[in-house]
Amino acid sequence: MPRYSAFDRFTIKAAVKAAELVMAPANRREVFEQFVLTVTAVTDLSEHMRRITFHAPELASFSVTGPDEYFGLLMATGRELVMPADDRINVRTSLRAMPEDVRPDLRWYTIRAHRPSVAEIDVDFVVHGDAGPGTRWARRAIAGDQAGFRAGGSAYRPPSEGPVLLVADETALPALAAILEVETRPAQVFAEVPDESYRVDLDVEWVYRFSGKPGSAVLKVLRDKALSTVEYGWACGESGLATGVRRHLVKERGVDRKAVMFSGYWKAGSARM
C-alpha cells in the first residue's frame, strides 16, 4: 500500500474542503490503487460507443466508492507501458516526474460495470475520431492489449431522501446508467446527445444537440419545464453543459449549491488530461 506524504494529504484535504464550499460532496478514497489492465473483449454498442472489458487480478479486491466510479486510464506512448510511481496522491505529479519519451497518456473514464468474481470491468468509450489519445486507443484496442489503471473516486452522493435531477451527455451515459441501476428516489433524468444515433437503452428524456453548443439544447428544455422539487442535482458531461445546468439549478431554481454535483468530463476544443 503506498504511503503518501503529509504534504500530499494536506493538499488534497484542502482541495476537497474548497470544493465542498461550492458543490455537493463527492465520495473520496484514501488509497489510489494502481495496476495494469489487460483487454479481454471489445464490443461495439453503437457506431459511437465501444465497450472494452478489462481484466486484472487486483480487480477482484478493488471496491468502488459509488455508482459513477471513475478511474485514470494510462496509455503507453512508447513501445512499452511504463507506469508512474504510485507514492503521490495526484497522479499528474507522478506523470510530470517521468521522462517524456516513456510518460503514458492519461484520460478519465467511468467503470460501467465491475465484476469482482471474475476480476473484470467494462468501460464504455465514446469514440470521436482520432482527435485524442483516449479515442485513438479505444478505436485500436484488441484483446491482449494492456493499459494502466489509476483509481479515482465517485461523485454521486445524494442525501438519503428526496427527488433528484440527473443530466448527462454522451460521455456521462455510462455513469448515468450505473446510477439508474441503484437509484430508488424519484428522478427527473435528461440526456443530451448529438443526435438519435447516440441513444442507448435507457429510460430518460432524450434531448438532441444537433449542431448547437453542448448544453444549449438541454438548458432550453430545463428552462421550459415545470420541474418538481429538486433535493439534489447531478450534471456531468461537456464542461459548458455541466456548468450551465449547475447555474440554472442554483440561480434560476434556487437549489442549494451544496446540493448540486457537476463535473466537466470534457471541454469542446481542448484536450482533457
Ligand X SMILES: Cc1cc2nc3c(=O)[nH]c(=O)nc-3n(C[C@H](O)[C@H](O)[C@H](O)COP(=O)(O)OP(=O)(O)OC[C@H]3O[C@@H](n4cnc5c(N)ncnc54)[C@H](O)[C@@H]3O)c2cc1C
Q: Is 130 exposed, middle or buried (0-12, 13-18, 19+ CB in 10 A)?
A: exposed
**Beta bridge mates, 164:** 187, 232
Q: Of 163 and 208, which has the nearer Cβ to ligand X?
A: 208
Q: Of 154 and 188, which has the nearer Cβ to ligand X?
A: 154
CB 49 within 8 A of CB 55: no
Name residues contacting ligand X, limited to 244-263 (CB under 6 A): 263
Interatomic CA distance for residues 199 and 208, integer angstroms: 10
Tell the smallest beta-carbon distance from residue 134 to ligand X (Å): 3
Interatomic CA distance for residues 179 and 103, integer angstroms: 33
Tell the smallest beta-carbon distance from residue 267 to ligand X (Å): 6
Contact residue for ligand X among 70, 156, 198, 262 (CB under 6 A): 70
Q: Of 225 and 267, which has the nearer Cβ to ligand X?
A: 267
User: Is 135 one of the binding residues for ligand X (CB under 6 A)?
Assistant: yes
- How many chain residues bind ligand X (CB under 6 A)? 25
Bin 33: left if φ > 0, else alpha if -120 < ψ < 50, else beta: beta
User: Is 126 one of the binding residues for ligand X (CB under 6 A)?
Assistant: yes
Cell numbers standing for residue 41 = 473483449
User: Is 99 one of the binding residues for ligand X (CB under 6 A)?
Assistant: no
User: Is 131 one of the binding residues for ligand X (CB under 6 A)?
Assistant: yes
Name residues contacting ligand X, limited to 169-188 (CB under 6 A): 171, 174
DSSP run (H or E) holding 9: helix 6-22
- Kindly write out the interface string for residues 186-205 of this chain, putting x where it contacts ligand X by CB under 6 A and - elsewhere: --------------------
Interatomic CA distance for residues 132 and 125, integer angstroms: 12
**Beta bridge mates, 108:** 72
Q: Name the site residues for ligand X (rule: CB under 6 A).
A: 70, 107-110, 124-126, 128, 131-135, 171, 174, 263, 265-272
